[in-house]
Amino acid sequence: MIKKISIVVIVAIIAVVTYINIPSKTPQNTQIKKFLTKGDSYIPFTLKNLKGEEVSTKDLKDKVIFINFWATWCAPCKEEMPSMQALYDKLNKKYPNLFAMLAVNIDTQDVPLTVQMYALNLKLNFPILLDTDGKIKSKYNTTGVPETFIVDKNGKIFNTYIGSVDWNKPKYYKDIESLLK
């Protein structure tokens, strides 16, 4: 019995010593990416649109920017798109030079044809950008799709929305419109 207990204790000590000496897979100086929240500066980026033209957020200085990350395979994204289109139409008509909507697609296969067909089927005419390598999604440290960042005229995050939103609700329109006035 004492032999068995001794063996168990020795095995436990070896396991603890081995565990303590295993190098961490995460280097000590690695920074944990922070999710962008209200008051943070947004991260400027340049991506190609469906026509292959580069679009840079730096060209949208002094505008309120609606940045939405989405994918064609995402059911909540599809649910949200018609209300995004309605919001885009309404704000673009009332504030043509003060508002920009960028729908950042994160699909990686059959792009841009799949995305073009998706936009055509849903009758979307707001700017769609392609983040096929996921670099921008990664910079924004998104948690999934859909995910939206509203950026004020000063380049600060006004608010973030995780999940599908009905942008037709007056609350969302009023929040964004307050930034445009």
Q: For residue 18, what pLDDT is reported?
A: 47
The predicted model scores a pTM of: 0.81
**Which CATH number does 29-180 carry?**
3.40.30.10
Residue 12's CB is within 10 A of a number of other CB atoms, namely: 10
CA proximity to 73, closest of 150, 127, 144: 144
pLDDT digits over 79-134, tens only? 999 999 999 999 999 999 999 999 999 999 889 999 999 999 999 999 999 999 99
Structural domain boundaries in the chain: 29-180
118-145 per-residue burial string, b: 16 or more CB within 10 A, e: under 16: bbeeeebebbbbbbeeeebbeebebeeb
